[in-house]
Amino acid sequence: MNLPSKLLAIDTATKSIYLALLIDGKTVDSISQEGESNHSVTIMPLIDQLLIKQQLQLNQIEGILVGIGPGSYTGVRIGVSIAKMIAYLNSIELYSFSSLALLASCSESMNILSSIDARRGNAFLSTYQQTNGILTVVNQDQLTNLETFKAGLSEVHDLITEGMPKIEKLINSNLIYQVADVHALVPNYLQITEAERNKAI
């Protein structure tokens, strides 16, 4: 995929805000900052700092990469809203990626289990195989019981729940997807709301 030169990557699906600035395919700066359910407060000041350090302004960014979950509903909505707005206002390309794939990029192991807590023993999770720094999806993003899923794995996996992601690894692994219609992008929640479930019963 031919990517624009100046890219901003955003992910807010976990406890940490991840931001990265890429120029000509290289990460020139990145932040992974753990927050206390206050991503909405800190994300724009963090983006501002990141840009100032490179003497860039927001409207000079040429493409946005955004994690669309699965993960914290409120968290992922903040990142997706911001990414959609930046892409829309500047008429630039928007690319989405799985927030679990981003987590997997933290690991150097061969077998990786990415997991984001979904309460009551459940997790948003997926597994990957890594060869020469290239990630391949083995089990797609899903919402399931973590312990049951782990028990079903035949090989030892590196369980990743936090860390310092490397967005370049996702790009090199072809795990980013061009968004055709910026307006239509929504988070990947992986499940309908409780109200919709109760109605269906």
User: CB–CB of 167/101 below 8 Å?
Assistant: no
Nearest to 160 by CA among 122, 199, 109: 109
Alpha helices in 25-172 (DSSP H): 39-53, 73-90, 99-104, 146-151, 167-172
Q: Which of 86, 113, 135, 179 binds other proteins (CB under 8 A)?
A: 86
Cα separation, 126 vs 103, in Å, equals 10
Among positions 4-63, residues that touch other proteins (CB under 8 A) are: 38, 40-45, 47-48, 58-59
Q: Which of 89, 110, 156, 164 binds other proteins (CB under 8 A)?
A: 89
User: CB–CB of 160/112 below 8 Å?
Assistant: yes
Considering only the stretches 18-26, 78-86, 96-104, 127-135, report the one whose residues sit in contact with other proteins under the rule CB under 8 A: 78-86
Q: How far apart are CB 191 and other proteins at their closest, in Å? A: 11
Q: Is 120 in the site for other proteins (CB under 8 A)?
A: no
Binding site for other proteins (CB under 8 A): 38, 40-45, 47-48, 58-59, 73-74, 77-78, 80-82, 84-86, 88-90, 182-184, 186-187, 189, 193-196, 199
